[in-house]
Amino acid sequence: MKVLEIMRRIKGFSTPLGGVDWDLPVPQRAVAEKIVVYLEDRRVLTMPRAVIRAVEDPGHCVASVLQIRETLTQILMETDTGDELAENLKAMRAACRRFLNVAGPNHSGDVHNRFESATFGAALGELRAVFGIQLGVIAARYKIELSEDLESILPASDTDDE
């Protein structure tokens, strides 16, 4: 068993001269892993746009982004995320707000309206780009493997042939 795991289980110790109690913060890597696992299941980030247009109601996308923003806020409020991880989460949360400003409650969801469809698509692309960059930074910093779906929103590398 690793020392940190043992320390997480021990809440304190006592001696004849007194005792000490402590709670260790959740390691930042564990928080980062939870974020990645949560985002893997968010179709708004990974589903191809053509499928979203054909199958998914834009209102569902808006609701999903609202949930993502709320979850990121909860993580920032409840957990010691550390400054670097907190900056990544704040950037993702800001991208959610920008998306919601464009495609939020006032968006009619009319996929046949070319202007609204293009506006929605651009907002979705920007959201995915920001999440891709931030997830790439998180994955590299904490050495976390991303699912194939999340890898699809990472920025292209210089060696990509496509």
Instruction: Give domain limits for the chain.
Output: 25-151
CA distance 155 to 147: 15
Q: What mean pLDDT, rounded, does the chain reach? A: 80
Residue pLDDT, tens place only, 71-123: 999 999 987 788 999 999 999 999 999 999 988 665 555 555 555 678 888 89
Give CATH for domain 25-151: 1.20.120
Confidence at 6, pLDDT banded by 50, 70, 90: very low
* Inter-residue contact 75 to 81 (CB < 8 Å): yes
How confident is the model at residue 16, as a pLDDT? 62
* Inter-residue contact 69 to 96 (CB < 8 Å): yes
Residue pLDDT, tens place only, 18-29: 665 555 456 889
Residue pLDDT, tens place only, 105-116: 655 555 555 556
pLDDT for residue 140 is more than 60:
yes
CA distance 62 to 23: 38
CA distance 51 to 154: 19
pLDDT for residue 137 is more than 50:
yes
Given the structure tokens 């320390």, which residue do they identify?
7
Q: Model-level pTM greater than 0.85?
A: no
Give the closest residue to 144 by CA, choosing from 38, 27, 33.
33
| Structure-block tokens of residue 43 | 């179709």
